Amino acid sequence: MLKLAIMGAMEEEIEPLLANFSDIKVTEFANNKYYEVKFNDIEIVIAYSKIGKVFASLTAATLIEKFGCNKLLFSGVAGAINPSLKIGDLIVATKLCQHDLDITAFGHPFGYVPGGNVFIEADNTLIQLAKDVALEQNIDLLDGIIATGDQFVANEERKNWIGSTFNADALEMEGASVAVVCNALNVPFLILRSISDSADMDAGFSFDEFLKSSANRSASFIIEILKRIK
């Protein structure tokens, strides 16, 4: 039986999702709140992790191990690297990497640790479902590489380095850690992001200004996926 997890990093990213439900059961666990709802007979657990890779890993693992979720969708915002991405545009990750993981001193590439991989691939079936939704809704949806790190990037040089090193299209602070957890526990996952800033010197201002509208756009798209998910 399908039991679906939906994650965001911040309250602002899950509030527009929770607004679609009235009968909500709240469970407090590990200094966080988990919201249990139903949608078309699908059991869903929604949570925001707090910002960063550690909190995202904890929340993803809790959703899977404690609540028994067997698919995971992540809804949130990201900074653009690919110049074709504008504020409010949607991107779904084909694969993800950790741009701040660095043991190159031992001869390894950026983003790699022994026993791991530089990139974790998202679930192809869920990616195709997202593309089908975008086509039906006449929404532009880019698929590409998302880079994750424990830093809010507001620097043109750093942004360009991440883009050239990992061929990344967007960057954020949680996706790759969620991908690592889901990959290790054999849980199909989808990382959907709406662009809130351009990860340059104006990123702080852009993020504050467009966080709510971009989060709403990502959440609305997730609801459309829920209508079609099997």
Q: Which phi and psi angles does 42 have, rounded to 5°?
A: -95, 130
Q: What is the mean pLDDT of the chain?
A: 91
Confidence of residue 153 (pLDDT cuts 50, 70, 90): confident
| C-beta separation of 194 from 214 below 8 A | yes
Domain residues for the domain of 190 are: 3-226
pTM over 0.85: yes
Local structure of residue 54 (DSSP, 8 states):
H
Q: Which helix (H) or strand (E) holds 90?
A: strand 90-98
pLDDT tens digits, 23-78? 999 999 999 999 999 998 899 999 999 999 999 999 999 999 999 999 999 988 89
Provide, rounded to the nearest whole percent, the portion of the chain with pLDDT above 90: 73
Structure tokens at 224: 């459309």
State how many domains the chain has.
1
Amino acid sitting at position 179: A
Q: What's the confidence (pLDDT) of residue 14? A: 87
Section 146-161 average pLDDT = 92
pLDDT tens digits, 89-130? 999 999 999 999 999 999 999 999 999 999 999 999 999 999
Within 8 A by CB and 6+ apart from 31, the residues are: none
Q: For position 67, which CATH number holds? A: 3.40.50.1580
Q: For residue 7, which of 66, 76, 62 has the smallest C-alpha distance?
A: 76
| C-beta separation of 169 from 91 below 8 A | yes
**What one-character-per-residue DSSP string does 111-176 give?**
T--TTS-S-EEPPHHHHHHHHHHHHHHT--EEEEEEEE-SS----HHHHHHHHHHH--SEEESSHH
Provide, rounded to the nearest whole percent, the portion of the chain with pLDDT above 70: 93
Local structure of residue 41 (DSSP, 8 states):
T
Rounded Cα distance between 218 and 87, Å, is 12
Q: Which residues are catalytic, by number?
A: 13, 197
Residue the block writes with tokens 């890993």: 57
pLDDT tens digits, 159-212? 999 999 999 999 999 999 999 999 999 999 999 998 886 766 565 555 566 666
